[in-house]
Amino acid sequence: MGRKTTSPDIHLNLNVRGLKQSATLAINEKSAQMIREGHQVYRLGLGQSPFPVPQPVVDELRANAHQKDYLPVRGLPALREAVAGYHRRLHGIERSAGDVLVGPGSKELMFILQLVYYGDLLIPTPSWVSYAPQAKIVGRQIHWVSTRPDNDWRLMPDELDRLCRDDRRRPRILILNYPSNPTGDSYTIDELKALARVARKYKVILLSDEIYGELHHRGQHVSIARFYPEGTIISGGLSKWCGAGGWRLGTFVFPPCMRWLLEAMATVASETYTSTSAPIQYAAVRAFSGGMEMEQYLAQSRRVLRHLGRHVWRRLKTAGATVSGPVGGFYLFPDFTPLRERLAARGIRDSAALADVLLQETGVAGLPGVQFGRPPEELTLRLAYVDFDGARALMAAQQVPLGKELDKAFLELYCPNVIRAVDAMAKWLTR
Ligand code: GLU
């Protein structure tokens, strides 16, 4: 008899054992692999901006390729100043450079926040795939705050109140993300005010993930920090509105009274990533400084996303899904429960099977609702309508007078994979 072998994973930290690679990155790698093997794949899995980094920002990166020194842990002073100025200009929120922390992606900053702050994590369901695993890795208690489909899964103040009222003084962080990943929906000003009131009542720290704010399809994003300035940290970065996910640059903007938290995070940053890439930070100054070119780029990006999002939304509704209309960003979160019987007849009884079979039979890559904290048997799916050449689409949109619709012919020409993907899905669903 040989010695009993034990699996090496018993040596893994318990908080990490059993965790898999993040679903967004896994579907991206799987899609790329399938394409290399010769399959047709519509890449609606990873939420990556289809648009190029604006030219002035690229030029600035080129001009700063020689920047080689380690930068200050909290970020390049000129960038921290530009980020504060950006929030002042856009949202009327008075912050100084000292309130800004720059990091290699807002995802990393969120992780460090959870590490340094000893409190529970509240996340509305559905929410982005990485909030909960991060909390699990650092050993924080997670509470999914329930939402209702008839509210389009927006967090309602009474739900938050219900969760906080039993233990009023418990330290908590609530992550609010809007325009939402995964639903593409957003909040009205009144809803933000009401949520701010409850957060203030229980002194909940609000981490407002506004990474899609600039991609509000009508340019009407409002930060909740306006209504709860003393308790809100605004999370943002270049990944979505500036098309620069791979550049890895994120920002946190704190209220002045939370300098202690910023400092604790900076300490951890100094012992882990040291500082964010220098050339990227120099280039980011240009992005956050705004100006005509950035405005035009954003106006056209929003326009393409608005028309494309509405087209996909309508098509999904016609195919029988329940889905709320797109307001910002580039996601939709259809619920195929109305087609449950038809899908069950094909062996599809949960969102994981739905995503798997859909990919195998139509080539459409999406992510199952279960990854966003929805019950496994709910037939929800996140679709990122980003599989198109954004540079080409932006150039073509510029030729169509503002105010005129980017019609079906435009979308078929410039976003063909998204149109084909949703057509293939609709056919597959009604087969
Ligand atoms: N936020 C993007 C998504 O939800 C991708 C980046 C990531 O998950 O790290 O697909």
Task: Give mean pLDDT, residues 185-193.
Answer: 98
Q: Which atom of ligand 1 is nearest to the CA of 245?
A: 6
Q: Which helix (H) or strand (E) holds 345?
A: none
Amino acid letter, 8 = P
The residue whose CB lies within 8 Å of the most ligand 1 atoms, and thus the one to mutate among 28, 127, 130, is 130
Collect all residues with Cβ–Cβ distance below 8 Å to 370 and sequence separation of at least 6.
Answer: 350, 351, 352, 376, 378
Encode pLDDT of 247-300 as tens digits: 999 999 999 999 999 999 999 999 999 999 999 999 999 999 999 999 999 999
pLDDT band at 8 (very low <50, low <70, confident <90, very high): confident
pLDDT band at 4 (very low <50, low <70, confident <90, very high): low
Encode pLDDT of 398-418 as tens digits: 999 988 999 999 999 999 999
CATH code for residues 9-52+293-430: 3.90.1150.10
121: pLDDT strictly greater than 90: yes
Task: Give mean pLDDT, residues 124-140.
Answer: 96
The residue whose CB lies within 8 Å of the most ligand 1 atoms, and thus the one to mutate among 20, 27, 129, 180, is 129
Encode pLDDT of 258-270 as tens digits: 999 999 999 999 9
330 CB less than 6 Å from ligand 1?
no
181 CB less than 6 Å from ligand 1?
yes
d(CA 297, CA 9): 48
376: pLDDT strictly greater than 80: yes
What pTM did the predictor assign?
A: 0.96
The residue whose CA is least distant from atom 1 of ligand 1 is 47
Look at strands 42-43 and 232-237 and give their pairing. Answer: unpaired
Task: Give mean pLDDT, residues 151-169.
Answer: 94
Encode pLDDT of 202-223 as tens digits: 999 999 999 999 999 999 999 9
Q: Report CA 166 to chain centroid distance, whole Å.
A: 31
The residue whose CA is least distant from atom 10 of ligand 1 is 47
The CA–CA distances, whole Å, from 321 to 38, 105, 224, 389 equal 30, 34, 31, 27
Q: What's the mean pLDDT when you consider all of the chain?
A: 96
For residues 246 and 95, the answer to whether their CB atoms sit within 8 Å is no
The CA–CA distances, whole Å, from 366 to 283, 362, 412, 416 equal 32, 11, 20, 17
Collect all residues with Cβ–Cβ distance below 8 Å to 4 and sequence separation of at least 6.
Answer: none
Distance in Å, CA 259 to ligand 1 centroid: 28
For residues 81 and 303, the answer to whether their CB atoms sit within 8 Å is no
Percent of the chain with pLDDT over 90: 95
Encode pLDDT of 344-363 as tens digits: 999 999 999 999 999 999 99
- If DSSP codes are grouped into helix, strand and coil, which group holds residue 273? coil
2: pLDDT strictly greater than 60: no
pLDDT band at 190 (very low <50, low <70, confident <90, very high): very high
Architecture of domain 55-290: 3-Layer(aba) Sandwich (3.40)
User: Between these two residues, 155 and 9, which has the higher pLDDT value?
Assistant: 155
3: pLDDT strictly greater than 70: no
pLDDT of residue 153: 94
47 CB less than 6 Å from ligand 1?
yes
Domains 9-52+293-430 and 55-290 share a fold: no
Distance in Å, CA 412 to ligand 1 centroid: 26
Q: Which atom of ligand 1 is nearest to the CA of 47?
A: 10
Distance in Å, CA 169 to ligand 1 centroid: 33
Strand order in the sheet with 172-177: 100-103, 250-253, 232-237, 205-209, 172-177, 120-124, 142-145
6: pLDDT strictly greater than 80: no
Q: Which atom of ligand 1 is nearest to the CA of 384?
A: 10
Encode pLDDT of 80-94 as tens digits: 999 999 999 998 999
Q: Report CA 308 to chain centroid distance, whole Å.
A: 18
The residue whose CA is least distant from atom 8 of ligand 1 is 24
Where do the domains of the chain lie?
Answer: 9-52+293-430, 55-290
- Residues in a beta bridge with 101: 252
